[in-house]
Structure 1
């Protein structure tokens, strides 16, 4: 655990978290840029540099959206090798908030132990950010749910949020916001309030959206220094500021001339089989269809009855494949290509 107060007091019980202190101090001392690897959201992973100006713009977008002030308390439980973790530290340093950092475990609240009392005393002024797996684990512990209730805002991103998690959030009326963004946009540029049934993301003020000829989202933001970023994400524009995320362009499967968005089938499967975990859809080469849609299951997950799916015929997977364990990227996302290749 590392604790950095707004007055500059530092308490640490784990030397392996020194990178948090190093980043915090570097930012307060005028760090001109950061360098890190992208996750591949806009193409092959690559190393990029992000300027202080772009980082500041991102901080201001988030601070404006959630009215972040110096009396707030931040928890960093994300890997600071990636943009999500780095931005939690930089937001705290720039806003002048108290910051606590713990290891990015499956349930970060387990890491807090007695220190959770600090957040309990700061009710209404805590700022959390999780990946969906972390939030799912937290929601299974009532004392941890009580800690979530102390939050001013809770971010969740890095992977799709399941309907099961969303239902829990709505039932408990927790201030959780699903984020949309990537390394190239310097963290999130759009939010979805999961307390509502809205399917769309809403861009933060100052962010401009458009689509290219393939229906992929284009983004112009203060955090991109007003340069256009073209993503590989296929979207449906609801308004100039709102969009529904359909899936990645490279996850479109052409089966018998029918274009199938893999993520839409995955959402249908998740809705029909809410207890099913560890699966994805993929297009394998097929001599007749060009590509055939398959469902890939991880480990001993029960085999679903696909005839129950309310989908057009070509959108129902033709085959179920099992693998022992999914390959994953360094940031924890499922690597479909490596999983299939193995």
Structure 2
């Protein structure tokens, strides 16, 4: 029999909630709440049951969505690490505006219960602060939400942003916000983030990620990140994320190993090329490849919506950042990209629209 942690200072919308109260609160949310509140209620019931584990669905952004089993004690350890890194004290206020159906939303609730935060939840829309004018000490969002509420972003004193890549234009906007915003690195298997890097307060765009407490990192012979975090994962997590290991506690993310394109024997990282083009192309895009009889794979720029190819080619030609091998040989248009719930583009699935 397992009893999960609930801090004596934990509260929901300012109302103190004990472990004994959670059952009634959960059933009330499930019975009377909106859909997003029902999801919160269902998770809270899972949290207080006797099982030492919880099943969580992955987003499917890097593969087929799957269900994995996480230990509650490891989720508690993750919450403690976040609390330590961001100096979150009991009774600090937190905003939950992410779906409680995925790990990011679930962990906001766990952090509140473990750290004794005052959690406030709103519907996880693309503009969750639309009807809110009060401030919060801590919150988590996806880039799409951040982009839609920049004028109000300072209401969140400390904000973590993850779930999808942050566009260069959005990074620039965040720099002027009077708060402490951070980009996160993590996945469901590591119970959300294991590393963060500041997005504003004078920190350079190419600053590395810094790992949280009780995390060890290395890289394998492919150059991919390996995570050893016994307090949050039973086994070493071997990722497909190619990194530059800056130090024992810092790394720079370079791209996905499974996205690497081999064009005529030259290995190209789509994410690195996208970074170089991000200030030149305004609309959503990504770099992919198509079969080529001579090169094996040829580099392709895939744009969302319609655009004048000539204009894009001129922008690419004017870039001094691209090597000759990094210049796309074709430009393709797709009306609407396929995305995950967090806004991350599903590259492979989107490319099937091009080929169909």
TM-score grouping bracket, smaller chain normalisation: 0.7 to 0.9
Specify which of 322, 326, 330 is matched with residue 319 of structure 1: 330
Q: Does the 8 Å contact 1:278/1:301 carry over to 2?
A: no
Q: Does structure 1 residue 130 correspond to structure 2 residue 138?
A: no
Specify which of 301, 308, 311 is matched with residue 318 of structure 2: 308
Q: Does the 8 Å contact 1:28/1:94 carry over to 2?
A: no
Looking at structure 2, the residues matched to 98 and 56 of structure 1 have their Cα atoms a distance apart, in angstroms, of: 17
Q: How many residues are treated as equivalent by the alignment? A: 324
Q: Does the 8 Å contact 2:47/2:54 carry over to 1?
A: no
Given the two structures, how large is their TM-score scaled by the length of structure 1? 0.88
Looking at structure 2, the residues matched to 211 and 226 of structure 1 have their Cα atoms a distance apart, in angstroms, of: 18
Shift of 1:225: 3.5
Gap regions ≥5 residues in structure 1: none
What do residues 107-146 of structure 1 show as CA deviations (whole Å, max 9, x unaligned)? 1112xx2xx24x33xxxx521111111101111xx3x2xx
SS in structure 1 of the partner of residue 16 of structure 2: coil
**Residue number in structure 2 paired with 1:243:** 251
Looking at structure 1, the residues matched to 286 and 110 of structure 2 have their Cα atoms a distance apart, in angstroms, of: 34
**Residue number in structure 2 paired with 1:206:** 214
Tell me: CA distance 1:102–1:223, structure 2 relative to 1, closer, same or farther (3 Å). farther
Q: Does the 8 Å contact 1:130/1:155 carry over to 2?
A: yes
Q: Does the 8 Å contact 2:305/2:334 carry over to 1?
A: yes
Shift of 1:314: 1.1
Q: Does structure 1 residue 337 correspond to structure 2 residue 348?
A: yes
Given the two structures, how large is their TM-score scaled by the length of structure 2? 0.84
Gap regions ≥5 residues in structure 2: 1-10
| Matched ranges for 1:1-342 at <5 A | 4-8=13-17, 14-16=33-35, 17-28=37-48, 32-40=52-60, 44-110=64-130, 113=131, 116-117=132-133, 119-120=134-135, 126-139=137-150, 142=151, 144=152, 148-195=153-200, 196-197=203-204, 198-225=206-233, 227-273=235-281, 276-301=282-307, 303=309, 304=312, 305=314, 306-310=316-320, 311-342=322-353
Shift of 1:331: 4.3
